[in-house]
Copies of this chain bind each other. A is one copy, B any other.
Amino acid sequence: MTQTAEPETEEFVANYLLYLLAAASDAASGQFHATVRANGLRVPEWRVLACLNDRDGSMITQLARFALVEQSRLTRIIIQMDERGLVTRRGDPEDRRRVRVYLTDKGRALATQLVREARQHESTLMTQLANGDAARLKPALHALIRTLDPGDDSGG
């Protein structure tokens, strides 16, 4: 830590990148997560359904990364989702110790419906932004994620 004594009179928080990210994420998610809860799901459960809708048979490590929760917590969530009939767990045919998670028909129906609603919510948000902001937002976020963890961008 340097001990510079530069004047720092400008207000900090209101233009602080980490605040802006957290505030934008909270506000955007707050809108859609009301829909998630109205469908009887917790947020990580919705994220698991959306991930499996993309890649059925994912492993818990992959799901934990996209659901943004720790693997031990996600394992408990997956067990509960299995008990509710939303997913099933099966050993990988090539390595039985690896557990893969699959959507049930019930889980797939819910995932399909919610992903459709999420796409619509996102589309509405993006059209409300000015063209320049909408065009730059996702590329800038991808770049930031790559910067923060070069091996861990979502690849999108």
A interface list, Cβ under 8 A from B = 1-2, 4, 8, 11-29, 31-32, 47, 50-51, 53-55, 66, 68, 113, 115-120, 122, 125-126, 128-130, 132-134, 136-145, 147-149, 152, 154-156
Known: A17-B126, A32-B18, A139-B133. A149 touches B27 (CB 8 A): yes
Of B1, B120, B125, which one neighbours A148 at CB under 8 angstroms?
Answer: B125
Given contacts A18-B29, A137-B141, 10 further A-B contacts (CB under 8 A): A13-B51, A13-B66, A14-B155, A15-B138, A18-B122, A19-B47, A20-B156, A21-B25, A22-B68, A129-B140
Query: Do B66 and A156 have beta carbons less than 8 Å apart?
Result: no
| Number of copies of this kind of chain in the complex | 2
Known: A68-B22, A120-B2, A142-B20. A13 touches B54 (CB 8 A): yes
